[in-house]
Amino acid sequence: MKVYISSIDLIANNLPAYAKMLNSAQQARAARFKTDTRRAQFILGHLMANSTGKRYISFGYLDDMVVVAASNTAPVGIAISDATAEYDMESITRDMNLPESKTRNEFLRNMTFARAKYKIGAHPWSRLFMRYGKYIICMCSSRVFDMPKLNKYTPKLK
């Protein structure tokens, strides 16, 4: 499994040029987003995914960060959460049917894992949590994976 992280700040100043690097279907979808932030997240995520050459891809977006997990062997899921944000832990635990958490950190891990697990549509056999600044990132797969490292992605215009 490969895992990439990047900031939309890297492409924000030249979004139309980066959008042209996507295929026509991806370009059409990107054009439908109403906000530049969401459009930039989509474009950067797909540039990252396209660069992997992998069969199974999962995206996570939050603020200006985009994370992508990619694998050839099994479905993968990835999610990102802000460890400094305020959450209504009781409501989220109830609405997402999460296990009761004794600490805020446990709640963050449960919530992030639930979102990553949802993306693979199967019982995850492997999961890994990483910290990146104020973010918690969870990766999971329906197969056991070697512990991936977090790779910084910097897009290059063609």
- How far is the C-alpha of 22 from the C-alpha of 60, rounded, in Å? 18
Q: Is the pTM of this model over 0.95?
A: no
pLDDT given for residue 143 in this prediction: 86
Would you tell me how many other CB atoms lie within 10 Å of the CB of residue 2? 20
Question: What are the structural domains, with CATH classification, of the chain?
Answer: 2-152 (3.90.470)
- How far is the C-alpha of 81 from the C-alpha of 79, rounded, in Å? 7
pLDDT given for residue 144 in this prediction: 83
Q: Return the bridge partners of 150, or none.
A: 3
Contact 7, 73 (CB under 8 A): no
Ramachandran angles phi, psi of 97, nearest 5°:
55, 45
Helices H / strands E in the chain, number of each: 5, 7
pLDDT given for residue 123 in this prediction: 79
One digit per residue, the tens of pLDDT, for the chain of length 158 reads 889 999 999 999 999 999 999 999 999 999 999 999 999 999 999 999 999 999 999 999 999 999 999 999 889 999 999 999 999 999 999 999 999 999 999 999 999 999 999 998 877 788 999 999 999 999 999 888 777 888 899 988 87
Q: Please name the amino acid found at residue 115.
A: R
The whole-angstrom distance between residue 125's C-alpha and the CA centroid of its chain comes to 19
Query: What DSSP element (H or E) covers 37?
Result: helix 36-52
